[in-house]
Amino acid sequence: MTMKGNFPIEKLKQIQTPFYYYDTALLRQTLEVVKKESEQYGYNVHYAVKANANAKLLKIIASYGLGADCVSGNEVQAAVDAGFAPSKIVFAGVGKTDWEINLALDNNIFCFNAESMPELEVINELAGAKGKKAKIELRINPNVDAHTHHYITTGLNENKFGFNLEDIDKVLNLMSTLKNLELIGVHFHIGSQITDFSSFQDLCVRVNELQDDFEAKNIKLKNINIGGGLGISYEHPNHFPIADFETYFRLFNKNLKLRDGQVLHCEPGRSVVAQCGSLITKVTYIKQGTSKKFAIVDAGMTDLIRPALYQAYHRIENITSNQQEDVYDVVGPICESSDVFQKEVNMNGTQRGDLIALRSAGAYGEIMASRYNLRNLPTGYLSEEL
Please give the residue ranges that form the binding site for ligand PLP (CB under 6 A).
48, 50-51, 69, 71, 92, 189, 192, 227-230, 267-271, 363
Least Å distance between CB 152 and ligand PLP?
A: 7
Least Å distance between CB 64 and ligand PLP?
A: 16
**Using N-to-C axis directions, what is the helix angle for 98-106 and 117-129, rounded to 10°?**
50
State which residue, 267 or 317, has the beta carbon closest to ligand PLP: 267
State which residue, 271 or 278, has the beta carbon closest to ligand PLP: 271
Least Å distance between CB 90 and ligand PLP?
A: 8
State which residue, 5 or 231, has the beta carbon closest to ligand PLP: 231
State which residue, 300 or 380, has the beta carbon closest to ligand PLP: 380
Residues 6+ apart with CB under 8 A from 131: none
Least Å distance between CB 4 and ligand PLP?
A: 25
CB 5 within 8 A of CB 361: no
State which residue, 92 or 358, has the beta carbon closest to ligand PLP: 92
State which residue, 94 or 340, has the beta carbon closest to ligand PLP: 94
State which residue, 185 or 332, has the beta carbon closest to ligand PLP: 185
In whole angstroms, give the CA distance from residue 62 to residue 47.
9
Closest-CA residue to 51 (of 273, 247, 348, 251): 273
State which residue, 230 or 330, has the beta carbon closest to ligand PLP: 230
State which residue, 123 or 355, has the beta carbon closest to ligand PLP: 123
CB 277 within 8 A of CB 351: no
229 backbone φψ class: left, alpha, beta (φ>0; ψ -120 to 50):
left
Least Å distance between CB 72 and ligand PLP?
A: 11
Least Å distance between CB 363 and ligand PLP?
A: 6
* Per-residue 3-state assignment (H helix, E strand, C coil) for 74-126: HHHHHHHHHCCCHHHEEECCCCCCHHHHHHHHHCCCCEEEECCHHHHHHHHHH
Least Å distance between CB 47 and ligand PLP?
A: 9
Least Å distance between CB 91 and ligand PLP?
A: 10
State which residue, 126 or 274, has the beta carbon closest to ligand PLP: 274
Least Å distance between CB 224 and ligand PLP?
A: 14
Least Å distance between CB 353 and ligand PLP?
A: 35
